[in-house]
Amino acid sequence: MLDISKLFALKYVHPVEELYDGKLPVEKDKELVLIPTTCGTGSEVTNISILAFQKRNTKMGLATDKLYADKAVLIPEFLGNLPFRFFATSSVDAFIHGVESSLSPKATPYTELYGYKAVEIILKGYQMIAREGEQARNRILKEFLIASNFAGLAFGTAGCGPVHALSYPLGGTFHVAHGEANYAVFSGVMEHYQKKAGVRLESLERLKAHMASVLDCKEEQVLEELETLLGAVIRKKSLKEYGADQEMLKVWSQSVLDTQQRLMKNSPFELGYEDVLHIYQSLFE
């Protein structure tokens, strides 16, 4: 809802497709005060608005400084009645914001400071939930809201990347919640990074070392341990379970390259059509 609210601070909004296609001038003519009611988007501190375009079966982002809030207010009590499913899908989105911003070529020591801390807070919270059950979240809502905010500060500068780009066709086609769609493709992207031939990704190694210290495991076990921990909070579904087929994966792969370059350019190295298709296929069943 924050992303939609941002648009109403603009002078020209309709038709919204033309706004996102760059055919309308972006002018802000209203004060914008944002108060998050989930612990995921970090949108209260970013200049981005994401919308689902049903006719295009994807989501698109509008990024402009005109979408920054004039004031952002964090009220943890607003999360008290958030059903666990929405808590899970929003917080896993914040976790992925922290990860992707830390792996982005645009990352800086400052964005990593916020991104790493967001990852740490969320993983420790998930560990508590895995041990004590869903209700344990009620004691740490403030921490999760702050983690979401930290991750928003990180990706607001460094950007998100291929996880978000690959999630958009899934979310747009089958109306999957944003965080859930990100989670559905997250492991595939991370494993592809890991296996990319001839590349030692320094930013990934640093992040894995940090997560290994939180998860109390060896660095080579991080992705496996992450899969187990995240799976205790939100069930991962295959792309086939959502209704995708092999032909759809090919269409999605081209769509990602055609419409999501804003995100794909934040990949730590270039991903082409075959890379994207391979990731989707690895998540199919």
Q: What is the CATH number of the domain that holds 104?
A: 1.20.1090.10
Provide the pLDDT confidence category of residue 197 given band limits of 50, 70 and 90: low
Mean pLDDT (whole number) for 147-151: 97
**40 and 110 belong to one structural domain:** no
Provide the pLDDT confidence category of residue 52 given band limits of 50, 70 and 90: confident
Name the token pair of 104: 């982005």
Provide the pLDDT confidence category of residue 196 given band limits of 50, 70 and 90: confident
200-259 residue pLDDT tens: 688 999 999 999 999 999 999 999 999 999 999 999 999 999 999 999 999 999 999 999
Single pTM value for the model: 0.92
pLDDT at 41: 86
**65 and 93 belong to one structural domain:** no
Q: Rounded to 10 degrees, what is the CA torsion of 225, 227, 228, 230?
A: 110
Mean pLDDT (whole number) for 27-52: 93
Decide if pLDDT at 125 tops 90: yes
Number of domains in the chain: 2
Q: Which amino acid is at 31?
A: E
Residue 241 is assigned to a structural domain of this protein: yes
Residue 190 is assigned to a structural domain of this protein: yes
Residue 78 is assigned to a structural domain of this protein: no
Q: Of the candidates 23, 53, 72, which is a domain's last residue?
A: 72
Q: Which domain holds residue 60?
A: 2-72
**204 and 260 belong to one structural domain:** yes
Q: Residue 23: enclosing H or E segment and its boundaries?
A: none
**19 and 124 belong to one structural domain:** no
Residue 77 is assigned to a structural domain of this protein: no
Q: Residue 52: enclosing H or E segment and its boundaries?
A: strand 48-53
Name the token pair of 25: 């001038």
**68 and 90 belong to one structural domain:** no
**218 and 112 belong to one structural domain:** yes
**124 and 263 belong to one structural domain:** yes
**22 and 122 belong to one structural domain:** no
Residue 132 is assigned to a structural domain of this protein: yes
Q: What percent of the chain has pLDDT over 90?
A: 90
85-115 residue pLDDT tens: 999 999 999 999 999 999 999 999 999 999 9
Name the token pair of 257: 């390259």
**189 and 233 belong to one structural domain:** yes
**24 and 135 belong to one structural domain:** no
Contact 78, 53 (CB under 8 A): no
Residue 169 is assigned to a structural domain of this protein: yes
**259 and 165 belong to one structural domain:** yes
Contact 249, 238 (CB under 8 A): no
Q: Of the candidates 72, 98, 123, which is a domain's last residue?
A: 72
pLDDT at 257: 97
Q: Rounded to 10 degrees, what is the CA torsion of 252, 104, 157, 184?
A: 40
Residue 214 is assigned to a structural domain of this protein: yes
Contact 129, 232 (CB under 8 A): yes
pLDDT at 199: 61
pLDDT at 61: 86
**168 and 35 belong to one structural domain:** no
Provide the pLDDT confidence category of residue 198 given band limits of 50, 70 and 90: low
Q: How far apart are CA 117 and CA 146, in angstroms?
A: 10
Q: Of the candidates 43, 72, 101, which is a domain's last residue?
A: 72
